[in-house]
Structure 1
């Protein structure tokens, strides 16, 4: 019997065990083979796709408002396989971000992450596999992304360089020599480079974690600060948080990226080696924390302990940055200005519907209604037994429009009144890693202080040099 005489389903299964390049070579052996492996043969390419990547249905079926894949839903298995493999090959280049396909590679990597299997499916559970915290072997996609570690230069070029090369190519030769200076202007949000950089690069950065370039590049710290402390980037129309100023309630990824960059450094300083901040692709998936079966309606894992901190600039530096003109000769770059961080704080939260009617917890921005808004209250105190006054906290959690990221609002009460409003986003999704955002005064006085903050579920903050105090 000839190979091509086999039933189509069996031949497709055999070919799917080969690398897609080998399947393409098989298609070049004769006309019949060429017809068999054509892109329209979706059964073959679906099998080949699932031999390498997770079934996107495993992720979609657990996402609120995302129906599973059905025959009439557009999903070209051959095309999706090709663009993903091209991206995985593309990041092997150290100058991946300069490639004309950079934006397509960004989209493909994010798609791999967004369709990663993040929990056992019904078949797994029937076979005795139960969910467990931080199970990184569940997902083929996550294993593929973890395997990109040797190519971090390519991924980081994709993050930092995508969309910036076209700007530099149109500048004068003397300006190109000062390219690093051009990249870090007073407000990154207003720079031409930043306007051309795709939003997907900012999102990939947040989900990927701190890059080597920003750890060692002196001006990277100032570049992030120039967004975080820019009064013009937040206001009433985005609830003073990391959201777009267009009324959609969606995430402003470049602004959230800046918050993430600042707080990732500052959290490490604040923790003083006691714990490691959870970051990276494995914490950018939903369901990294386990649901409490005794509180089934707590879909966001509100209940429990959170660890985090906050940062701020000296008010004179903040005011000078936002008000002094370039001609004054004293305009702060925020590259070297001192920045302070609070103590490592512990939040102890519980669901509390009593605060649902609190006017400070209402918003005019739209939220996704696929899951109900959760209201909570609790206490904030210094971590590990620090003797500080107990501070009251109340707030709410809801889905960002689109249904993946989670929006958090915290109202901090002490000294007999509401003091601070914290607006944050959990970029990895439901029960994922940290919450990053901006804090402001509750009354939002003009030219009031502003700064970044972060909080993480305690169980994801792994001990480093010492055991966490209980």
Structure 2
């Protein structure tokens, strides 16, 4: 009977591809023959990787429109270091599976950085994603979720005794970023709701603290240093507030066409997880890898979108962000008397937190219909890998046709920030004059299904407010009434306020 080491390489390869990733390195250390076969065997490491994780170069992933400055030339795609990547994931899995809390807390940065990298290379269909499945299963462990999801500065004030802020600012930001991508599933299921220190009143306090709105962050979810870097702790607080409010609204709207949002772990929080293809735009279909090309000659614009046989492609075909279509928006706000009293009735020190807010907000659901109007190169202050896309549209309340603050015209833009996030700016226009503005970040990246999260405020940046949280996500590429996703006859029945 032949021994394992005497088998031909093809059979040995098939056997070793069924080995657990953590055991592959151990086998390489067991004897010189295994070491010489396994070490540096790119095909073996690749096949083992692809048995457990999504293919970062897979057919379901869209050709990235954001290319690094070192690999701008088309076709110069560097193959992943399969062995190095898999060894990194094995190290992360060991941390996630261990029971030592100190080891986990000291590993927040490498673990969360790796987790976010997995999300960036996930299958856009998150229901079928091996990466999302792996991360979701690991975060079912309460110790893992407490440490890696709930270690932002917010959890210095709230949460369970095992949830508290990391000592390092970078770790707090990373934890908030992973929590923002994970969604509101744990809050919605009551994991923090049943705690004596619920998260949403403290998050609400942060969102409505007008001191956090300033010129340095453009009144949006950005850091206060003027770099337009996303402040994920702000995004986390906004998502907690909106998630709590939408969860309450969905309970009151059972049977009226409005269900839960953001309730699936990492649902839609990966690039291209919403993949609309406008009908009649073969150029965009080709750019997204959804058609098999013929022998057509091609031209390429400076942002990596290929146009096949179209000398003058439509604006929608040139738009990397997928703006045109129907979107659902949620806007929340405090009664202005409550907002003013919260911010100005008592004096607090500049770095002192305001008390939690238990007062419930008003909530508005809005249907937006947007269309691309202009595409221009990025400015010096923008990320350079993508253009700036301008759009116009309309905004209509789902609660009542006469709502003066929800029914308006819209204009805005989408661009890449210097740090690589997708920034959306909108202006609500009433009778030809802009009134409300919003600044937001797209959670999950380019064309994510999760949507856009940020803040709304007075377009003149009034330090007395009002201001509050907002989010919007795409429903359809269509601009017709059927794209709204809710029975038109039942829109006025949706509650505008809840206690």
TM-score in same-fold range (> 0.5)? yes
Q: Is the 8 A contact 1:243 1:251 kept in 2?
A: yes
Cα distance in 2, alignment partners of residues 79 and 234 from structure 1: 43
Call closer, same or farther: CA 1:233–1:31 in 2, change over 3 Å. Answer: same
- The correspondence for 1:344, drawn from 359, 365, 370, is 365
Secondary structure at the counterpart of residue 122 of structure 2: coil
In structure 2, the residue matched to 1:50 is: 50
> TM-score when scaled to structure 2?
0.72
Call closer, same or farther: CA 1:50–1:71 in 2, change over 3 Å. Answer: farther
2:399 matches 1:393: no
In structure 2, the residue matched to 1:17 is: 18
Q: How does 1:217-366 map to 2 (within 5 A)?
A: 217=195, 218-271=197-250, 272-273=252-253, 274-279=258-263, 280-289=265-274, 290-294=276-280, 295-323=316-344, 324-326=346-348, 333-336=355-358, 338-353=359-374, 366=381
Cα distance in 2, alignment partners of residues 94 and 387 from structure 1: 57
Residues 182-221 of structure 1 deviation map (CA, whole Å, 9 limit, x = unaligned)? 999xxxxxx9958474311011000001234433334412
Cα distance in 2, alignment partners of residues 192 and 285 from structure 1: 25
In structure 2, the residue matched to 1:144 is: 134
Q: Is the 8 A contact 1:306 1:347 kept in 2?
A: yes
- The correspondence for 2:385, drawn from 370, 381, 401, is 370
Call closer, same or farther: CA 1:302–1:444 in 2, change over 3 Å. Answer: same
Cα distance in 1, alignment partners of residues 52 and 380 from structure 2: 40
* 1:283 positional shift: 0.7
2:416 matches 1:410: no
Call closer, same or farther: CA 1:152–1:233 in 2, change over 3 Å. Answer: same
Residues 220-245 of structure 1 deviation map (CA, whole Å, 9 limit, x = unaligned)? 12321232123333322222111122
* 1:459 positional shift: 5.1
Q: Is the 8 A contact 2:272 2:447 kept in 1?
A: yes
Cα distance in 2, alignment partners of residues 192 and 25 from structure 1: 33
Secondary structure at the counterpart of residue 35 of structure 2: helix
Cα distance in 1, alignment partners of residues 122 and 411 from structure 2: 33
Secondary structure at the counterpart of residue 44 of structure 1: helix
> TM-score when scaled to structure 1?
0.76
In structure 1, the residue matched to 2:286 is: none
* 1:366 positional shift: 2.6
Residues 107-146 of structure 1 deviation map (CA, whole Å, 9 limit, x = unaligned)? 222121112132xxxxxxxxxxxxxxx5732x33233334
In structure 2, the residue matched to 1:125 is: none
- The correspondence for 2:464, drawn from 447, 450, 455, is 447
Q: Which moved more, 1:260-269 or 1:21-30?
A: 21-30
Q: Is the 8 A contact 1:103 1:162 kept in 2?
A: no
Name the count of aligned residue pairs.
Answer: 421
Residues 257-294 of structure 1 deviation map (CA, whole Å, 9 limit, x = unaligned)? 11111111122334533222145313101222222144
Structure 2 unaligned blocks of 5 or more: 281-315, 478-484, 489-499
2:446 matches 1:430: yes
Q: Is the 8 A contact 2:62 2:272 kept in 1?
A: no
Call closer, same or farther: CA 1:192–1:135 in 2, change over 3 Å. Answer: closer
In structure 1, the residue matched to 2:64 is: 62
Q: Which moved more, 1:65-74 or 1:416-425?
A: 65-74
Structure 1 unaligned blocks of 5 or more: 119-133, 169-175, 185-190, 461-466
Cα distance in 1, alignment partners of residues 454 and 203 from structure 2: 13
Structural RMSD (CA):
3.9
* 1:439 positional shift: 0.9
Cα distance in 2, alignment partners of residues 62 and 31 from structure 1: 41
Cα distance in 2, alignment partners of residues 443 and 384 from structure 1: 27
Residues 391-443 of structure 1 deviation map (CA, whole Å, 9 limit, x = unaligned)? 1111111223344x321111011255211111111111122122110111111
* 1:70 positional shift: 9.6
Cα distance in 1, alignment partners of residues 242 and 430 from structure 2: 24
- The correspondence for 1:116, drawn from 122, 130, 155, is 122
